[in-house]
Every structure is written in structure tokens, then in C-alpha cells.
Copies of this chain bind each other. A is one copy, B any other.
């Protein structure tokens, strides 16, 4: 399996055709027919394109200014509290933008952790204030798996829309998949057996997150980085696939614990 950074992708403006910009810079190998790709036992998948959510957002014009988010009382309350805890000035309009992008507040302090409208739990609903091309804010794509599906359709390869985020228990950030199309999110090893013939304890391997993290290793960040990485020669294998990616509160004990918790 090989990872290839796609060179020379320019700054993206709203309306740019990302599929064209990628196709002009690299010959993609579609591998197996798309209708065979996510069937168990299907032939190896060809290339997988991993693309950073930042450029997908820009192409989809998810740029916004703070004045588009006049703060309501809830946002003002959240910003005041964060200001008190951190000692840094907080714009309540930013809190308002986060609330409008979210369906659930997982944690309010000492930072805003929310569930986005498409199910992804991350800090500040993934809203970026860096590399926003002049606007105040860059919001995540509205429906990243639909964005991935459009790109996948145009390029005839599976596509993963990536982001980077932190996590409990472990330091640092790593790449994750927030949207995907053309391959299942996970490999389900249930029923497979170990060398002793015992059923495997590890059952569901989230391959889209592993692919997004691998792509992040060669993508770089900032001015010298590239938003597009091709994974060549990834074999999904013969096990079943699953498209579950984001846990519901009911199956997530950490979210349940955070519900009852309050930062001092």
C-alpha cells in the first residue's frame, strides 16, 4: 500500500471543481468496478482519495463572517463562562456559530465540545479560524459524506473527507474521516478466527479513520501542505463492511458521563 501526496493543488475558492483539480494532477486507478467495491469478497479496491475538509468547505462556500451569527442569550452565557475560565476574550458570535452547527452540546467548558449536524463530535463544531482566505470562519462541509459521494462519482474512486482532531486519553491530534463514499467505514472481522481457531475479540476495524490518519502523515499542514492524498493498493479484504461511524449517546458511556459533569 502506498500513499501519494497530490502536488500543486492551488488555493481553493468557492465554486472550484475539486474533482477536476485532482484529476489534472494525478492519474487515479479505479480498480474494481464501483458496484463490486463494498461487497464482501470483492476484488481489491483501487485508489482511495483522501481530501481535507478545509478545501471541500471552501469549494462549497462554507466561509462565513462572525456578523452572520448574532449571539443569543445561550451563546453569550457560554462565551462569558469560557472567558471567566480561560481569561481570554471570547466572541459570543463564535459560540453562536458553534451552536448553529451543532445538535448536541457534549461539553461546555473548559472548551466547547459538540455533536455536529452530521454526527461528528469535535471541539467548536470543527469551525476553523485559520487559513480561511479572508473570511472570519470556515465551517465544516454540511454533509461530508454527500460531498465525498459527489467527488467519488466524478473520479470513479472511493473518497474520504478528512479532518484532524484530538481525543481523550491520548495526547495530540490525528486524522479522522468525517465523510466517506465508495467504501464501507469499517471492516467487520466478526466470525473470523485466530490461529488457535478462536473467534476474534477485536471485531470492527474503522478503516476510514485509519486511512485518514495515514493520509495525514504525508499531507503536512499549513503553507507547505497538500489537501489531497491518494492511497494506492489498499485491499479491503473479504470480511463484511459496516457504515457506522459516529456513536449515539446511548452506546457511548463517555458522552453519558460528560452529560452529568461540570467543569469547576
Contacts and interface: CB of A to CB of B under 8 A. Distances in A.
B130 A199 contact: yes
A9 to B, nearest CB: 11
Given A222-B192, A257-B258, A204 B171 contact: yes
A87 interface: no
A107 B257 CA distance: 10
A200 B130 contact: yes
Contacts of A186: 171-172
Contacts of A175: 210
B164 A205 contact: yes
Contacts of A185: 171-172
Given A213-B174, A217-B234, A253-B110, A169 B247 contact: yes
B169 A244 contact: no
Contacts of A192: 221-223
Interface string A197-241: 011111111110111011011101111000000000011010000
B195 A222 contact: yes
A171 B220 CA distance: 26
B205 A173 contact: yes
Nearest to A232: B2
A189 interface: yes
A132 interface: yes
Nearest to A203: B173
A174 B261 contact: no
Nearest to A163: B202
Nearest to A237: B220
Given A170-B247, A246-B170, A209 B220 contact: no
A149 B172 CA distance: 22
Contacts of A221: 189, 192, 194, 200, 202, 205
A199 B247 CA distance: 32
29 contacts: A3-B3, A107-B253, A128-B201, A131-B194, A133-B196, A164-B202, A167-B168, A170-B176, A170-B206, A170-B209, A171-B242, A171-B247, A173-B203, A173-B204, A173-B206, A175-B210, A195-B222, A200-B221, A200-B222, A205-B221, A210-B216, A210-B217, A211-B217, A213-B214, A253-B258, A256-B261, A257-B261, A260-B260, A260-B261
Query: Top 5 A-B pairs ranked by shortest CB distance?
Result: A172-B206, A257-B261, A168-B254, A214-B214, A131-B194
